[in-house]
Amino acid sequence: MKLFRPANGTEGEIFMEKFCYRCIHDDYENERYCQIIGGSMMYEVEDIEYPTELIYDENDRATCTNFEER
């Protein structure tokens, strides 16, 4: 399994639009905040604390295994 980390802010924003902003686990209006987002910004991929939910899938596309659409 290869972990995903955005290379820059633009790539991060594209990822968040595709997943985070549409996910039940990060819902600002209902005061639910995803810990995966914070962990991806606080830690390096090599750190044990880096979220293992952010991976490249079998087609080498970035994905979040915890994503559940609202």
- Taking only the tens place, the pLDDT of each residue in 25-70 is 988 887 888 999 999 999 999 999 999 999 999 999 999 999 999 9
Q: How many domains are there within the chain?
A: 1
Contact yes or no for 36/43 (Cβ under 8 A)? no
pTM higher than the cut 0.75: yes
Mean pLDDT for 15-28 is 92
Residue 3 lies in a domain: no
Buried b (16+ CB within 10 A) or exposed e, 3-22: ebbbeeeeebeebbeebbee
Instruction: State the first-to-last Cα distance of the chain, in angstroms, to the nearest integer.
Output: 27
Residue 15 lies in a domain: yes
Residue 70 lies in a domain: no
Residue 42 lies in a domain: yes
Reduced to 3 states (helix: H, G, I; strand: E, B; else coil), residue 7 is coil
- Domain of residue 55: give its range: 9-64
Specify burial of residue 34 (Cβ count, 10 A radius: 0-12, 13-18, 19+).
buried
Residue 57 lies in a domain: yes
State residue 15's pLDDT score: 97
Q: Say if residue 21's pLDDT is above 90.
A: yes
